[in-house]
Amino acid sequence: MSNTISAPPSLVTLRNEIDRIDAEMHRLLMERGQIIDRLIAVKGSQESGSAFRPAREADMMRRLVQRHAGILPLDTVEGIWRVIIATFTYVQQPFSVHADLSAGDAMMRDSARFHFGFTVPFLTHMSASAVVAAVAASRGDLGLVPAAYVAGAGAWWDALEPETAPKIIARLPFVERADHPADLPVFVISRVSSDAMVKEVEVWSVHVSGWGPQAANALPGAVTCVAAPDGAFDGAALLISMPAGTQFETVRQALLKTGASIRSAALVGSHATRYRVSAGG
């Protein structure tokens, strides 16, 4: 029996393997581009509307995270995937990303570039309302606004209430973890066909009277809320996010028990449930 131990591969051999994999990845990206060419032709005859498919993107992102393993950081995989998707979507149907910088420049730019890359035009505004207006005036642009309330911003989400207005279609980052490199919570606003939306979390624009700490604390635990002053001293305009399984009537009854009452309510969008992973995952 031979006791010969196989020699480890040489550096040249390993580098050749890396070159082979790099070439194959490039070939596959070009092949993906060829399929996109065919997709553009098919969509031109079978489908109209925005090229964005939030439900499909959320499903693809979940599968990517679930199958990922090894030493390559998830940040890198997520970033590469997001740039590929955004760029090929742009190739199908050119669009711009409008961003509200009123809460700060650097973090919003990080979020935009991480999720959409550098090919997609990036246009800046100094209020969420200006972003909504720009998206409303466009044919298929996206808007990014902070998911938390910015002092002085007002109830910008009121402009999403009309049936023909753009809606909230996503919340980023989709993959949520403590060490995310683009961790500013933002809502994505655009016009997307109803069948392309993911409706795991509904987002409502709600105007209430009798708003205060007691009413805020009465909201069901899974419900999140952004509040802006609304005219009367005890009124508020709310942007309420309700996960699947939560009924709007539950929110209404919770507020009524505190003496608050809902004056109006309108569904202004929906998005996927965020995919949470542990830090470093």
Tokens standing for 61?
Answer: 């992102």
Mean pLDDT by 10 residues, the chain (281 residues): 72 94 96 89 62 86 92 92 93 93 92 95 96 94 92 90 94 89 94 86 93 89 87 81 89 91 93 80 54
Angle at which helices 74-92 and 11-46 cross, to 10°: 40
pLDDT at residue 233, rounded to an integer: 59
Residue 224 contacts residue 188 (beta carbons within 8 Å)? no
pLDDT at residue 178, rounded to an integer: 82
pLDDT at residue 152, rounded to an integer: 81
pLDDT at residue 4, rounded to an integer: 66
- With a CB cutoff of 8 Å and minimum separation 6, the contacts of 204 are 238, 239, 240, 241, 242, 248, 265, 266, 267, 268
pLDDT at residue 212, rounded to an integer: 87
Q: What pTM, to 2 d.p., does this model score?
A: 0.89
pLDDT at residue 148, rounded to an integer: 87
pLDDT at residue 87, rounded to an integer: 94
Q: What are phi and psi of 83, to 5 degrees?
A: -65, -40
Angle at which helices 74-92 and 54-67 cross, to 10°: 150
Of residues 221, 111, 87, the one with CA closest to residue 175: 111
Q: How far apart are CA 190 and CA 141, in angstroms?
A: 6
Q: How far apart are CA 5 and CA 9, in angstroms?
A: 12
- What are the C-alpha distances in Å from 157 to residues 131, 170, 250? 11, 14, 22
pLDDT at residue 179, rounded to an integer: 85
